[in-house]
Amino acid sequence: MSTSPGQRMKIGEFLLRRLEEAGVGHLFGVPGDFNLELLQQLEDAGRLQWVGTCSELNASYAADGYARLNGLAAFTVTNAVGAMSAINGIAGAYAEHVPVICICGSIPLRSIERGLGMHHTMGDGTWDRFLGAFAQVTAAEARLTPCNAAIEIDRLILTAWREKLPVYMELPSDIAYLDIEVPAEPLVLAQPASDPERLRSCVAAIAARLSAATSPAILVDEDAGRHGVAAEITELAAKMQMPAAATGSAKAIINETFPYYAGIYNGKASQPSTIKAIEGGDCLLSIGYRPVEVTTGDFTASLPADTIRLRGHSVDVGEDNYQAVTLKEVLRGVIDAVPQVTSRPARQAEAAAAAAGTKADGSAKLTQAAYWQALQGYLRPGDVLFTDNGTSYGIFGFHLPDDCTVVASVIWGSIGYSVGALLGTLTAAPQRRHLLFVGDGSFQETAQELSTMLRHGHKPVIFLINNGGYTIERGYMGKTETYNDIATWAYADLPKVFRPDTTARSFVVKTVADLQNALSAPNDTMIFIESIMDPHDAPAAVIHSSNNGAELDYGPRGPQHRENAQLQPTM
């Protein structure tokens, strides 16, 4: 514990101060009687900007998006009714390794101690069920009290940031205005320094393997982005002249124009050159690799048995497991320890794939193939690209310009995530261009958050595919079943509905020429492009993975084998 003199502060104000010191400039959420007192402190202190959302689920998604670009995020909800709506987003942040702080304004300590029945509870006098629920989906959780607040606030914020995982904090409504003693010095966000001997040994072991290798490679998963080591990875790859591939969840963490970039590794569904680099080399470094069916080409990935596995705070080299080593320090050490290689020049950059595509007839009905081909040309360096589940996975086929960020939820995959998360990235980095690629079904889950983007004058470009329902699901099963149909909305009219004085430019696109016209609109306001497409049109990769998914999900005797039960590739 610090021995420097403390100061007195109200618990709520200290929480806001700590968030600000941790680089959190905005608080998302929905008010309720149990968190209004904190919101009043926010207003009075002018600390953090309030961004009210339409729902708590969307607040959790927005915080996730904000944290992807800002490194940490927070949102507030009210007891149980708000928290339970947000728990999907918090669990998703856990799955995707995103540091999000959920602050639940909860029932007063007075009610807990006296066993008073309260609204927003089960009405049975219990008060710890929701804390228990969040314990399942967070790295740490706590109910603040005047006794523990100064310690727990710092512990939760630091745990979220260090582990890149969500945390849950209950702030009972009757303690936010109580004075406690708090540290005077600011909170310092830092990873724990590595154990010096472990770090030296670990770096030496990796450098020895790498230096002796003739065909080393790196495979990057999303933790590389979360721990901010993209620069170290490219420096190491350039020094060793070795290929670096990414999983789908890690797309764009390494610039795709980097001469040693080796593409997306997705098991046997990858390009042959990517498979060769990752599976066929003699020293593979994996960073945060977490194989799941959707990032391993349905478990067809096969990394060499002696892969060196780096994680945020530990490393495996052969039989040795190194603890107390932080990723950035390990990579820095390895870069310094390996020799500059000059014998493995980079492959020639591939000619841009889109340029080679066939020229589409402008008046022809828009197809998925023509859509993704046209959009490739729209991309600019520095864009933030979102995809939701569905045929919008087409973005994984993009060859991205430099310094783009891809925001996706490949493992958790909760549809509608992208719309809420977009509010978060727009708030974190309004100076960047944000492109949302979303299907009509996903959009319908969280569409109302468009209104918050319009309310704050944000200028994203929204590419919505209107194909009448859940096309990706039709590739699993129910090609023509009504359960995969959805209500028909006038999507492009929504900006006007959500903000009657909007300047948003809306387009309903039916042909390639319509799309080209929409793409020529200037980015000085929100652009909403609704593209009408056939329910049975989908990128081949999406159909293949859905068909394979059905085999895994339903087994050989499943109903997907009935005639015409599945959308299948046209060949």
Ligand X SMILES: Cc1ncc(C[n+]2csc(CCOP(=O)(O)OP(=O)(O)O)c2C)c(N)n1
DSSP structure class, residue 401: P
Q: Tell me which of ligand X, Mg ion, none is bound by residue 223, counting a contact when its beta carbon lies within the kind-specific cut-off of 5 to 8 angstroms.
A: none
Q: Tell me which of Mg ion, ligand X, none is bound by residue 232, counting a contact when its beta carbon lies within the kind-specific cut-off of 5 to 8 angstroms.
A: none
DSSP string, 453-487: HHHTT---EEEEEESSB-HHHHTTS-SS-GGGB--
- DSSP H helices in 106-148: 109-114, 129-135
Q: 405-434: which residues touch ligand X (CB under 6 A)?
A: 413-415
Name the residue nearer to ligand X (CB basis): 256 or 440: 440
Q: How far is the CB of 467 from ligand X (least distance, A)?
A: 5
| Structure tokens that stand for 509 in this block | 């696109």
The SS3 of residue 94 is: helix
Q: How far is the CB of 441 from ligand X (least distance, A)?
A: 3
**CA distances (Å), 11 to each of 143, 147, 189, in order?**
13, 10, 20
Tell me the CA end-to-end span of the chain in Å, nearest whole number: 67
Of 9-17, 276-284, 356-364, 440-448, the window that binds ligand X (rule: CB under 6 A) is 440-448
Q: How far is the CB of 563 from Mg ion (least distance, A)?
A: 24
- DSSP H helices in 257-414: 272-279, 327-337, 368-376
- Based on the shown chain and the rule CB under 6 A, indicate whether residue 439 belongs to the binding site for ligand X: yes
Name the residue nearer to ligand X (CB basis): 293 or 329: 293
- State how far the Cα of 332 lies from the Cα of 318, in Å rounded to an integer: 20
- Based on the shown chain and the rule CB under 5 A, indicate whether residue 78 belongs to the binding site for Mg ion: no
- State how far the Cα of 205 lies from the Cα of 185, in Å rounded to an integer: 39
**CA distances (Å), 295 to each of 15, 95, 332, 378, 405, in order?**
38, 14, 28, 26, 18
**CA distances (Å), 400 to each of 279, 384, 435, in order?**
24, 11, 13
Candidate residues 94, 265, 470, 498; the one interacting with ligand X per rule CB under 6 A: 470
Phi, then psi, of 308 in degrees rounded to 5: -85, 120
Q: Tell me which of ligand X, Mg ion, none is bound by residue 38, counting a contact when its beta carbon lies within the kind-specific cut-off of 5 to 8 angstroms.
A: none
Site mask, ligand X, residues 379-408, x = CB under 6 A? ---------xxxxx----------------
Q: Tell me which of ligand X, Mg ion, none is bound by residue 415, counting a contact when its beta carbon lies within the kind-specific cut-off of 5 to 8 angstroms.
A: ligand X
- Based on the shown chain and the rule CB under 6 A, indicate whether residue 478 belongs to the binding site for ligand X: no
Candidate residues 85, 194, 467, 548; the one interacting with ligand X per rule CB under 6 A: 467
Q: For 74-111, b where at least 16 C-beta lie within 10 A, e where not — what string?
A: bbbbbbbbbbbbbbbbbbbbbbbbbbbbbbbbbbbbeb
Q: Tell me which of Mg ion, ligand X, none is bound by residue 275, counting a contact when its beta carbon lies within the kind-specific cut-off of 5 to 8 angstroms.
A: none
Q: Tell me which of ligand X, Mg ion, none is bound by residue 413, counting a contact when its beta carbon lies within the kind-specific cut-off of 5 to 8 angstroms.
A: ligand X
- The size of the interface with ligand X (CB under 6 A), counted in residues, is 18
Q: Tell me which of Mg ion, ligand X, none is bound by residue 473, counting a contact when its beta carbon lies within the kind-specific cut-off of 5 to 8 angstroms.
A: ligand X
Q: 433-462: which residues touch Mg ion (CB under 5 A)?
A: 439-441
The contacts of residue 270 (CB under 8 Å, 6+ apart) are 245, 263, 264, 278, 297
Q: How far is the CB of 400 from Mg ion (least distance, A)?
A: 24
**CA distances (Å), 78 to each of 29, 120, 182, in order?**
9, 8, 25
Q: How far is the CB of 486 from ligand X (least distance, A)?
A: 7
Closest CA to 224 of 384, 406, 394: 406
Phi, then psi, of 172 in degrees rounded to 5: -60, 140
Name the residue nearer to Mg ion (CB basis): 222 or 388: 388
Neighbouring CB atoms inside 10 A of 449's CB total 24
Neighbour order of strands in the sheet with 320-323: 261-264, 244-246, 216-220, 283-287, 308-310, 314-317, 320-323
Candidate residues 467, 511, 531, 548; the one interacting with Mg ion per rule CB under 5 A: 467
The SS3 of residue 393 is: helix
- Based on the shown chain and the rule CB under 6 A, indicate whether residue 446 belongs to the binding site for ligand X: no
- Based on the shown chain and the rule CB under 6 A, indicate whether residue 440 belongs to the binding site for ligand X: yes
- Based on the shown chain and the rule CB under 5 A, indicate whether residue 71 belongs to the binding site for Mg ion: no
Q: 526-555: which residues touch Mg ion (CB under 5 A)?
A: none
- Based on the shown chain and the rule CB under 6 A, indicate whether residue 539 belongs to the binding site for ligand X: no
Q: Tell me which of ligand X, Mg ion, none is bound by residue 106, counting a contact when its beta carbon lies within the kind-specific cut-off of 5 to 8 angstroms.
A: none
Site mask, Mg ion, residues 468-507, x = CB under 5 A? ---x------------------------------------
Site residues for ligand X per CB under 6 A:
388-392, 413-415, 439-442, 465, 467, 470-473
Name the site residues for Mg ion (rule: CB under 5 A). Answer: 439-441, 467, 471
